[in-house]
Structure 1
Amino acid sequence: MSLISLLMLTDSRLPAGTHAHSGGLEAAVAAGRVAEAVDLHAFLLGRLTTTGPTGAAFSAAALEAASGPDDALLAELDAEYEARTPSPAQRRASRKLGRQLLRAVRAGWPGPALAAASVVHPDGPHQPIAFGAACAAAGVSPHDSALASALGAVTGPANAATRLLGIDPDTVTAVLAALEPHIQDTADAALKAALGPVSEFPSFSALRLDISAEHHSTWEVRLFAS
């Protein structure tokens, strides 16, 4: 059942709001940094090796905390993830996605794990915390939670690429397939990190994404929320 649940949680048809976010790709396209498939590969690999390990480690740890549930640890994880997200625009986007994810998952897997995650912050949990709690509620393993989180770091922007670049969806699929070993390595490293102290979880910088997110949030016309 956990595999079926995992597939449902990672299905783009889950109304979790990710379709409205480009993960910074819209700003990168507007700046001329991403224009074709080779640029998209580089952009996604950059996200995967910076924000990817952080989100995956926190998702795996949140799964364990929500399984208790351990309210204090969930709150600590949320606060530590906040500290690793310097961009206010990205913080807002992450919490919005967290709220939407919990709302969607309650319909299929209601339980104490989701309730515990929903109260870690007045504005709702960050997305990785919410995803970990969702995986706990659905019976997904920590390894699969980390793997799905790492995959999600690239699939959201990849889906946005078809609208932003007018790129052939088959080409996007080829780019994602080429990233498969990197996704696996990211998940493995994140799961290992999640076994240590929270203060030592991954904290890699993606300064261009942070700066671009702030600029993007001021645009009057945009296709994506982030």
Structure 2
Amino acid sequence: MPILRAAALLLADGRLPTGGHAHSGGVETAVATGAVRTLADLREYCRGRLHAAGCTAAGLAAAAAGGLDLTRLDAEADARCPSPTLRATSRRLGRHLLRTARHLWWSDRLAAAAETPHGPHQPVALGCLAFAAGLGPHDAALIAALDSITPPAAAAVRLLGLDPFAVHGMLARLSGEADDVAGRVAGPAAAGELPSRSAPLLDYYAEHHDTMEVRLFAS
């Protein structure tokens, strides 16, 4: 069993100032369209997001932490994100993460990521930061997997007025699946075999979100 390190806990902390609190992971659109109304709906939404976008993000983060070429990873991340809005959001969050990284750990690899045109994708930046913190591909994958479900869960509490204790109970029940996703993709991704799980509805939600006249979140 991998050793849990304090640096990993810090990077997984939702209070880390990376700009993620301003994004709903698509759940704001899901709520607006009626797809997510209850805690049970939210559980299935987060589960689907974990095994699709979360799996892909975990692989990219693990590959970045494992030292794979950043130019290749940037292209791989673009290819796995057909929504222009989601690509822009991912890069925006990547730039926010690099700004935070300058106050935590810094490295030549993070500096190279900062040179990516328009900024690195968020999971790539996360993997580079994990490496700078002395963490490995599995740590990076697990943090990315968790990050795929915690923002929409937190957003749903605000959007639907759900009981935060019940929402965190739901996250706890999904934590084993997050472990499984990270454990499954970390090794192959670090060796260059990247997952490519898609969720077309998330792409639709991202594009639809831009057309909403009233919205609480940036995405």
Relative to the length of structure 2, the TM-score reads 0.95
* 1:57/1:146 contact within 8 Å kept: yes
Moved more, 214-223 or 49-58: 214-223
Using the TM superposition, give the Cα deviation of residue 107 of structure 1 relative to its aligned residue in structure 2, in angstroms: 0.7
Matches within 5 A, 1:112-127: 112-120=108-116, 122-127=117-122
Using the TM superposition, give the Cα deviation of residue 140 of structure 1 relative to its aligned residue in structure 2, in angstroms: 1.1
Q: Which runs of 4+ in 1 moved over 3 A?
A: none
Distance 2:65 2:140 in 1: 8
- Report the counterpart of residue 128 of structure 2 in structure 1: 133
RMSD after superposition: 1.5
1:155 aligns with 2:157: no
* 2:138/2:187 contact within 8 Å kept: no
- Report the counterpart of residue 43 of structure 2 in structure 1: 41
- Report the counterpart of residue 61 of structure 1 in structure 2: 63
- Report the counterpart of residue 97 of structure 2 in structure 1: 101
Unaligned runs of 5+ in 2: none
* 1:2/1:138 contact within 8 Å kept: no
Distance 2:211 2:75 in 1: 26
Please give the secondary structure, in 2, of the residue aligned with 1:179: helix
* 2:156/2:162 contact within 8 Å kept: yes
Which of 208, 211, 224 is the equivalent residue of 2:204? 211
Distance 2:44 2:102 in 1: 36
Distance 1:105 1:124 in 2: 14
Unaligned runs of 5+ in 1: none
Using the TM superposition, give the Cα deviation of residue 196 of structure 1 relative to its aligned residue in structure 2, in angstroms: 4.2
Relative to the length of structure 1, the TM-score reads 0.92
Using the TM superposition, give the Cα deviation of residue 221 of structure 1 relative to its aligned residue in structure 2, in angstroms: 2.1
Matches within 5 A, 1:191-210: 191-197=186-192, 200-210=193-203
* 2:59/2:195 contact within 8 Å kept: yes
* 2:37/2:160 contact within 8 Å kept: yes
- Which amino acid in structure 1 is aligned with residue 112 of structure 2? A
Distance 1:180 1:14 in 2: 20
Distance 1:90 1:195 in 2: 24
The superposition leaves residues 162-194 of structure 1 with CA deviations (integer Å, 9 ceiling, x where unpaired) of 101100100111110110221111101111330
- Which amino acid in structure 2 is aligned with residue 158 of structure 1? A
* 2:65/2:190 contact within 8 Å kept: no
- Report the counterpart of residue 225 of structure 1 in structure 2: 218
- Report the counterpart of residue 27 of structure 2 in structure 1: 25
Distance 1:116 1:62, change over 3 A: same
* 1:53/1:189 contact within 8 Å kept: no
Please give the secondary structure, in 1, of the residue aligned with 2:149: helix
Q: How many residues align?
A: 217
